[in-house]
Amino acid sequence: MRRARDPSGPGGWVRPTAVAGQFYDADPDRLRAQVERYVDRATPRPDLGTPKAVIAPHAGFRYSGPTAGFAYRAIAPRRDTVTRVVLIGPAHRVRVPGVGVSTARAWATPLGEVPVDVDVVRSLLDHPSVVEADEAHASEHSLEVHLPFLMATLGPFSLVPLVVGHCPIPDVATVLRQVWGGDETLVVASTDLSHYHDDATARVLDRRTADAIVARDAGSLGPGDACGRVPVAGLLVAASWMGLDVHLLDLSTSADTEGPPERVVGYGSFALVPA
């Protein structure tokens, strides 16, 4: 994974969709209607204030879409203020030695292209834990599945896509702090929770994980608790530095939608708001 190429240089390219038609509908009209339905059906939480960051799941929409809708319902009031989204999630398929950026000038979706904030990406390459990771981004779903929700909820924005592999949690936190920004910047951490337990066991494990996330107890999150454990833990550390509280919005499993109860995946949505 090279670090030399200038992401804003000539010959800029667009990262194509990898999981459209698999994790979510490839038809733009059906996709937008689906996302809007998930967001509209989520319970609003005006008592929490306006989130600076959210944590949301990244499975196929028919499984985790209703829970993801809670996170995006929470950020809907920021439609007129957010112009940049820092989107961070785990690398499932390709090893990344740190936090990996995309050198594309934009990411394609069925709803249109999302421009990458190439100036921010270039600045991040000065961080010792940040590397170019186009190979990992090419097939990764953990970031891509959030783009339709973000586009439908926020309107136009620029993207800072970060995929995390083997990286110390404090380093992830310092990367996030570097791009934290102000009201114009939203941070989204992507993770599912427990994997392939029976439904009753998963709900116990996921409640424990949710309690640790709400307590900002990054050290209590184990590898089996969440596939995006490291990105989430990094966000929790950064949230402690920046004075954010964490609130649970929704917990579910794939058995709540279409999955069999004998072998489920857990999902959670959380809002991080100023204390």
* pLDDT for the residue numbered 1: 37
Q: Tell me the average pLDDT across 214-224.
A: 96
Q: What is the pLDDT of residues 133-173, one digit of tens each?
A: 999 999 999 999 999 999 999 999 999 999 999 999 999 99
Q: What is the pLDDT of residues 82-137, one digit of tens each?
A: 999 999 999 999 999 999 999 999 999 999 999 999 999 999 999 999 999 999 99
Q: Tell me which H or E stretch contains 31.
A: helix 28-41
Q: Tell me the average pLDDT across 50-76.
A: 97
CA dihedral 66, 35, 23, 239 (to 10 degrees): -70
Rounded to two decimals, the pTM is 0.95
Task: Please report, rounded to a whole number, the percentage of residues in the chain having pLDDT higher than 90.
Answer: 93
Average predicted confidence (pLDDT) for the chain: 95
* pLDDT for the residue numbered 225: 97
Instruction: Check whether 199 has a pLDDT greater than 90.
Output: yes
* pLDDT for the residue numbered 259: 86
Looking at per-residue confidence, does 12 or 60 come out higher? 60
CA dihedral 94, 31, 113, 3 (to 10 degrees): -10
Instruction: Check whether 17 has a pLDDT greater than 70.
Output: yes
Instruction: Check whether 8 has a pLDDT greater than 80.
Output: no
CB within 8 A of 144, min separation 6: which ones?
17, 18, 19, 20, 23, 107, 109
Q: At what angle do helices 61-75 and 28-41 cross, to 10 degrees?
A: 60
| pLDDT-based confidence at residue 7 (cuts at 50, 70, 90) | very low
Domain ranges of the chain: 25-274
Dist. CA 91–CA 18, nearest whole Å: 14
CB within 8 A of 192, min separation 6: which ones?
57, 58, 59, 64, 226, 227, 228, 265, 266, 267
| pLDDT-based confidence at residue 50 (cuts at 50, 70, 90) | very high
* pLDDT for the residue numbered 105: 97
Q: Tell me which H or E stretch contains 66.
A: helix 61-75
* pLDDT for the residue numbered 19: 98
- Name the architecture of domain 25-274: 3-Layer(aba) Sandwich (3.40)
Instruction: Check whether 2 has a pLDDT greater than 60.
Output: no
**Which amino acid appears at position 236 of this protein?**
L
* pLDDT for the residue numbered 10: 30
